[in-house]
């Protein structure tokens, strides 16, 4: 049951389209003043098509559906029903969703309209409120550095989690061997492990991926070829073969959600993850290259303009890498703590901390895992 938007199923397609309009209107925000019009065309019910006009709010018109617009979106009625079933965890990148929708015209506008279709679960909202209360009671906005611990005990880790306090952990050597990794060593040790699934037919092994990555780094002009898929695993599931070396530490593997692998050539001048917060406690294990994280405590939420519509994680409208204090004046008061992770170090980031991530070196490799509780 979602307190933010309880309606999840409809007796008719026509009610589903009306529900869809309410959903996007309710989640719509436009702090940067985007303007334009999108036609939403439902192929099974052309008479239900409508035009969404961007302004301070979203205005919907149905009376002149044939008029000129900036963007055309065609979305089957089955996908609209599915959005309602899944909006608490829907991921637009899922090929079985995005593959059903077609776009033409200004794609930026279509992208902006995808945001208000999702909603947080009541559980996620409660987690964020809990973190905000905890951080406020401990004045974490005034914290100016993250504590470093060398070989902490499990008890020290659990205490930091219960206090919502981030930690940088070092001294994990010699077991498991978690630094001095190179691309060649990865290909040699885990050559047959599947690191990226691009389609049913195309499963890429570590050896193939490392080959592609090395070609890319030797020919950086490939970077600008249209449609080129960047050589980055972007949070793929960590292959089983790699668990012994990069699997979760301090508590049992069953206490974590499947670890994710972030390996590849990455830009170092822009954030690889823009400002957001997660409802679960994360462990980020740095393996190759360095990463910098800028952390903002949860009690500063109202300074950072977190998006109203979100589900698995909550992005912010405010972008610290290109701050616009005219639009987001309160963000000037926000204070962050910067942490640079060296290979072999691990960041413990309790639930609810806002963070933005830069890769300082390329290639870069991290393994991340979320604690279940």
Site residues for Fe ion per CB under 5 A: 278
Ramachandran assignment for 159, one of left (phi > 0), alpha (psi -120 to 50 degrees), beta (any other): alpha
Measured from the CB of residue 316, what is the shortest distance to Fe ion in angstroms?
A: 12
End-to-end CA distance of the chain: 20
Beta carbon of residue 355, minimum distance to Fe ion (angstroms, whole number)? 6
DSSP assignment string, 284-341: EEEEES-EEEEEE-GGGGGGS-B-SS-SSSEEBS--TTS--TTT-GGGGG---EEEEE
Q: Rounded to an integer, what distance in angstroms lies between the CA atom of residue 116 and that of residue 361? A: 34
Given the complex with Fe ion, which of 39 and 276 has the nearer CB atom? 276
The three-state secondary structure class of 215 is helix
The least CB distance from residue 185 to Fe ion, in Å, is 27
Residue nearest to Fe ion (CB): 278
CB of 276 to Fe ion, least distance (A): 6
Sign of CA dihedral 75, 236, 342, 370: positive
CB of 132 to Fe ion, least distance (A): 17
Quick one: 140 or 262, whose CB is closer to Fe ion? Answer: 262
Q: Which is nearer to Fe ion, 75 or 348 (CB)?
A: 348
Q: Judged by CB, which is closer to Fe ion: 204, or 366?
A: 366
Q: How far is the CB of 281 from Fe ion (least distance, A)?
A: 11
Kind plus residue range of the DSSP H or E element containing 248: none
Nearer to Fe ion (CB atom), residue 231 or residue 282: 282
Choose between 69 and 293: whose C-beta lies nearer to Fe ion: 293
Q: In angstroms, what CA-CA distances link 330 with 225, 297, 327, 341?
A: 40, 15, 9, 29
């Amino acid at each position: 049951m979602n307190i933010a938007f309880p309606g999840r199923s409809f007796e008719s397609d026509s009610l589903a389209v009306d529900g869809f309009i309410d959903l996007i209107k309710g989640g719509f925000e436009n702090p940067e003043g985007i303007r334009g019009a999108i036609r939403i065309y439902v192929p099974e019910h052309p008479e239900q098509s409508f035009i969404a006009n961007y302004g301070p709010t979203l205005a919907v018109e149905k009376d002149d559906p044939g008029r000129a617009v900036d963007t055309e979106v065609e979305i089957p009625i089955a996908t609209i029903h599915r959005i309602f079933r899944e909006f608490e965890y829907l991921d637009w990148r899922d090929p079985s969703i995005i593959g059903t929708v077609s776009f033409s015209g200004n794609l930026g506008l279509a992208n902006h309209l995808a945001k208000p279709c999702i909603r947080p679960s009541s559980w996620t909202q409660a987690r964020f409120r809990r973190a905000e209360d905890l951080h406020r009671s401990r004045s974490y906005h005034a914290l100016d550095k993250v504590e470093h611990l060398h070989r902490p005990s499990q008890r020290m880790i659990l205490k930091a989690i219960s206090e919502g306090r981030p930690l940088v952990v070092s001294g994990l050597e010699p077991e498991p061997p978690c630094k001095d990794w190179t691309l060649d060593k990865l290909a040699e040790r885990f050559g047959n492990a599947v690191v990226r699934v691009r389609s049913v037919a195309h499963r890429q092994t570590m050896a193939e991926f490392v080959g592609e990555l090395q070609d890319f780094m030797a020919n950086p002009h490939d970077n600008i070829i249209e449609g080129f898929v960047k050589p980055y695993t972007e949070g793929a599931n960590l292959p089983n073969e790699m668990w012994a070396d990069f699997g979760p530490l301090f508590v049992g593997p069953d206490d974590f959600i499947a670890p994710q692998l972030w390996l590849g050539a990455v830009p170092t001048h822009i954030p690889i993850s823009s400002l957001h917060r997660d409802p679960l406690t994360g462990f980020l294990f740095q393996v190759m290259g360095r990463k910098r994280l800028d952390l903002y405590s949860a009690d500063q939420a109202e300074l950072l303009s977190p998006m109203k519509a979100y589900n698995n994680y909550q992005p912010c409208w405010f972008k610290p890498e290109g701050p616009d204090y005219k639009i987001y004046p309160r963000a000037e008061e926000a204070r962050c703590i910067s942490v640079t992770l060296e290979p072999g170090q691990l960041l413990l980031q309790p639930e609810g901390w806002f963070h933005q991530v830069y890769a300082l070196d390329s290639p870069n490799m991290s393994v991340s895992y979320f604690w279940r509780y």
